Chain A
Amino acid sequence: MSNQIVQGILLGGYYALIACGLSFMFSVMRIINLAHGSLAVFAAFALWWLASRFHVSPFVGLLIVLPLMAAIGWALQRFLLERSARGGALLPILTTFGLAIVIDNMLFEQFGADTRSLAPYIGSLSYDSWEWPGSIYVGKLAVIMFATAVILLGGLQLFLTRTRLGRSIRATSEDPDTAGLVGVDARRANAIAAAIAMVTVGLAGAFLGMRATFDPYAGAPQLLFAFEAAVIGGAGSLWGTLVGGIVLALAQTLGAQVHPQGFLIGGHAVFLVVLFVRLSTSGLGLRGLLRLPSRSAS
């Protein structure tokens, strides 16, 4: 059982990776990007394409895909989100949902319905493991994934609190107009934030491809996982996302123990329970579940 708990915690690292971009974008721009999961799957396909076509190792491939994701994030904000956000809070939901449908089906058109994986391209890393005391075997990939999540979340936190750019992004998220008065270019801050968010999505996509299989329509479940982890952990800091990811993964692991189909049910159920408890214990519903990570940092 302790073996499963360790695996669950490490899987939580993946959920934290995919969730942090979603909650980061929400906290800065107040937009929930429904194309989030589809973009992660897009990154996974880009890495797969580079690996199968040009024999580029997925880790080297990241050097190409991550800048590409940053550019996509910048363009997404400039050409889509910025315009649709002006039409109110509901329009970006529809815009990004439409975008998700376009991405999913384009991927299907390009790569077909087959499930793919990056595992064949990363050598022995996909099955290597360390033995821990108590005959617990932990996959090297899972540990790398968890460490990446911790470094990324810590890095983002430092970036938001310690750098000038990070502070201007936080200022924009608090109040774009006032930030503008003191010389912060809100448009630029938002576009950079979107680019950063997409880099995290690219990383998440890479790990999705390495640890499991994916197909063109795998984006929707990734979006739900990201949202659930972000809401469960969304108590005010980016570290909450890590906690949320771990709770989600543990609930899924536990669910799988109870029933063969319990993996996903366990995850959704714990999300609803957390939601219910939080809605009934506080007036959070009005202010939003995904609060600013910058509040606690400031």
Chain B
Amino acid sequence: MSAASTSPIIERGTTTSKIAAIAVAVIIALLAIAPQFLSAGAVDRMTALFIYVILAAMWNALAGFGGLVSVGQQVFFGLGAYFAIRLADTGLNPFASLFVAAIIVGVVSWPLSLFMLRLRNGEFAIGMWVIAALTHLLVNLDRLVQGETGTSLISLNVYDAGTRRVAIYWLALGSMTALLAILFGLLRGSTGAAIRAIRDNEDAAASVGVRVTGTKRLLFVLAAFGIGVAGALWLATSITFQPKTYFNVQWTAYMIFMVLVGGIGTFEGAILGALVFFLIETWFGGTGVWYLVSLGATAVLFSLFLPRGLWGTIEERFGLRLLPVGYRVILPGHAPADDGTAPSPEQTPLDQEKA
């Protein structure tokens, strides 16, 4: 037997992943021309789906890759919408203010991260919730918002309904694609290796020289920016801004549901989770309170019995990798082994803290 045949093969892209990459390009192209064939209602629903994908991917970036579970991410959602209202009020073009608002959210999150990232696990999770509650109260004090009565993005009314709908659809599609591309690029690059090392074991990662805090901060700011974009886009679709709806913890509940069901710590999982959530909402959203009860119950069951979610389980079972962000090592005579895209079974994505 020659040495070459026994040495492990390291692969990144596989045939499946190449097909998947082409499929992704085709899907995005189809989505871009879709408004011409869809009804007004369907365009609105698709816009909502894109926003859900952004929310899921950003929460996953923070929790699944950064190991930072936050139940206060609604603060960035609400701030994205609030800053957009504020900027539009100064006379800035409403569409431009959506993105300027998201950038401001990202900027604001940086000093916040200096402070919050020193908290650990549950303390971070609920500390973020306190931040969200406080921000909500402070936004209520703004005269423009008029307390819980809220206000509207009136300047958007200069565009007629049809143009506005399609424009927001494209903006949402573009934002989703761009944010997913940024995350994908980040995970594939050298930062990605650091992120996965932190995800698997923070202390060990720090001991081999990974910049743990800097990497986490990057994810924190990215997630804040992305969720800010989502909040601003949501404002554009619904026009009205009521602080209570935007700073509602329900947004974080949705993010957690999507990521837990889809597969925490997997790139594809968050997208799958958003799709599942979107379908459930479309079919059962009208059932009101039982819908919310079953969302909570499903989240509990997934966290107990299928903590790696649907995609994590599929990935493990079939060795499938559509959008590879890691490398994998194939030892001759062995099943494919991973270096990181899927953590080994005894080391789940959540297996972080050593008590």
Taking Cβ atoms with an 8 Å cutoff, the residues of A that contact B are 26, 30-32, 34, 80, 83-84, 87-95, 97-102, 105-106, 108-109, 220-221, 223-224, 227-228, 231, 259, 261, 264-265, 268-269, 271-272, 275-276, 279, 285-286, 288-290
Contact = CB atoms under 8 A, between A and B. Distances in A.
A288 B121 CA distance: 9
A87 B304 CA distance: 8
Given A97-B253, A289-B123, A89 B130 contact: no
Interface string B259-303: 010000000000000000000000000000110110111111001
A221 to B, nearest CB: 8
Contact of A94 (B119, B256, B295): B256
B355 A89 contact: yes
Contact of B304 (A26, A95, A231, A289): A95
A91 B300 CA distance: 10
Contact of A87 (B295, B299, B307): B307
B67 interface: yes
Interface stretch (B180-188, B316-324, B344-352): B344-352
Interface string B214-252: 000000000000000000000000000000000001000
B299 A84 contact: no
A244 B300 CA distance: 31
Contacts of B129: 220, 223-224
Contacts of A228: 130
| Chief secondary structure at chain A's binding surface | helix
A89 B121 contact: yes
Contacts of A285: 118-120
Contacts of B300: 80, 95, 98-99, 102
B171 interface: no
B125 A93 contact: yes
B118 to A, nearest CB: 4
B340 interface: no
Contacts of B348: 87-88
A224 to B, nearest CB: 6
Interface string B57-68: 000000100010
Given A98-B300, A220-B249, A88 B125 contact: no
Nearest to A29: B355
Contacts of B290: 105, 109
In the A-B complex, the 10 residue pairs with the smallest Cβ-Cβ separation, listed nearest first, are A101-B296, A32-B122, A285-B118, A98-B299, A89-B353, A88-B350, A98-B300, A102-B296, A268-B134, A88-B351
B56 interface: no
A279 B118 contact: yes
Nearest to B292: A105
A105 B296 contact: yes
B133 A268 contact: yes
A291 B64 CA distance: 27
Given A98-B256, A98-B297, A289 B121 contact: no
B115 interface: yes
